[in-house]
Amino acid sequence: MQAVHGRRLPAEWEMQRVALLTWPHAGGDWGDNLAEVEQTFLRMAEAILGHQPLVIACSDQPARQRLQSQLAPHGAPDIHVVPSNDIWVRDHGPITVVGRDGRPRLLDFKFNGWGGKYPAEKDDRLTRHLHATGAFGDLPLESVPWILEGGSLETDGRGTLLTTSSCLLTDTRNPGTDKGWWEDRFAEWFGIDRVLWLDHGHLEGDDTDGHVDMLARFVNPETIVYTACDDPDDPHYDSLARMADQLRAFRSRSGKPYHLIPLPWPSAHHDETGERLPLSYANFLVINGAVLLPCYAQPQDQAAENLLAPLFPGRELHRIPALPLIRQHGSVHCATQQIVR
């Protein structure tokens, strides 16, 4: 299809040029859990390198040398020393669009720590710093003076965008905007001509104000997998049921109802302070030839694998131990970003 404004936001399952990681470091929020979360990052890096190139932003030269040594048996990641506040490159990294000429270009939006909740000055500059080091090759970089996070966007690659009103309409990001304003901007920036707004659905412990990548994901242009709660006594039950009702009312570009597949519901998991954490199997990453599935040391992990694997034929499924990530309220998709070819 010809995208409006001559641009197209590609689907995650399209061929990728590279994946991105912002490596965790001392002095961040990880404290005594740093070594454990680094093991999860190593697992993600190894899985990615088995299928495609990887760019890593790390904190200093000793970290760069250590990572080169640790990852050498699995490939040769392109590692750059770039300051960062935190690891969540889905939200502070670049977003790829494809131009009328078929070439990708990178959009660098403003990032303010999910509405000013956390320090973000270094993360806000990370994409520009990486581009200046040559990490993105000859891809052009376009700065956009509005706040937008990659985890709030989900697309079928054909001009349809799935997003949440709870995140995009909050006054702590872009005050005064409404759905119509966003739909105009999505057309301008991404070539989007259909926006599906989810007005319900939340996960306790999600401090992004409800990113869609924890709630509902396209697996092809006609199919959406979504977070569903099967326990009527769980506080998430009503909100997620209303979200499912909205999904059932949506129509694909062909005019048909979407094929909707509920994901397994993880058992409640709390941190040491008693806060419930936002476990979600929707937060998987699709790369060339593989899917990285967050796992939480629960029996439901196997059910999630059994459900997702047939939806991505020809792709190897890698289980990623995600409990270390979820302690800081994110998971595998939140900690990664991709650039298409």
Kindly report, residue by residue over 167-183, the tens digit of the pLDDT.
Answer: 999 999 999 999 999 99
| Cα–Cα distance measured from residue 339 to residue 334, given in angstroms and rounded to the nearest whole number | 15
269: confidence class by pLDDT, cuts 50, 70, 90:
very high
Cβ-count burial 38-50 (b if 16+ within 10 Å, e if not)? bebbebbbbbbbb
The conformation of residue 174, written as its DSSP 8-state character, comes to S
The CATH number covering residue 215 comes to: 3.75.10.10
28: pLDDT strictly greater than 90? no
Average pLDDT of the segment spanning 191-204? 98
What is the overall mean pLDDT for the chain?
97
Q: Which of 24-33, 46-55, 201-210, 241-250 has the lowest mean pLDDT?
A: 24-33
**Which among 207, 200, 203 is positioned nearest to 234, based on CA atoms?**
203
Strands (DSSP E) contained in the chain are 16-22, 54-58, 78-81, 95-98, 104-110, 141-147, 154-155, 160-164, 194-198, 216-220, 223-227, 259-263, 285-287, 290-295, 316-321, 337-340
- C-alpha torsion 271→277→279→282, nearest 10: -150
pLDDT value of position 1: 41
**Number of domains comprising the chain:** 1
Cβ pair 154, 216 in contact under 8 A: yes
pLDDT value of position 4: 58
Average pLDDT of the segment spanning 155-169? 99
Residue holding tokens 């060339």?
288
Q: Residue 88 is part of which domain span?
A: 4-340
157: pLDDT strictly greater than 70? yes
pLDDT tens across 248-267, in order? 999 999 999 999 999 999 99
Single-letter code of the amino acid located at 180: G
pTM above 0.75, yes or no: yes
**Which among 315, 317, 307, 321 is positioned nearest to 263, based on CA atoms?**
307
In angstroms, the Cα distances linking 137 to 14, 55, 124 are 19, 11, 20
CA pseudo-torsion sign 300, 306, 307, 313: positive
Cβ-count burial 300-326 (b if 16+ within 10 Å, e if not)? bbeebbebbeeebeebebbbbbbbbbb
2: pLDDT strictly greater than 70? no
27: confidence class by pLDDT, cuts 50, 70, 90:
confident
Q: Which two tokens stand for residue 332?
A: 């595998």
Residue holding tokens 């990486």?
130
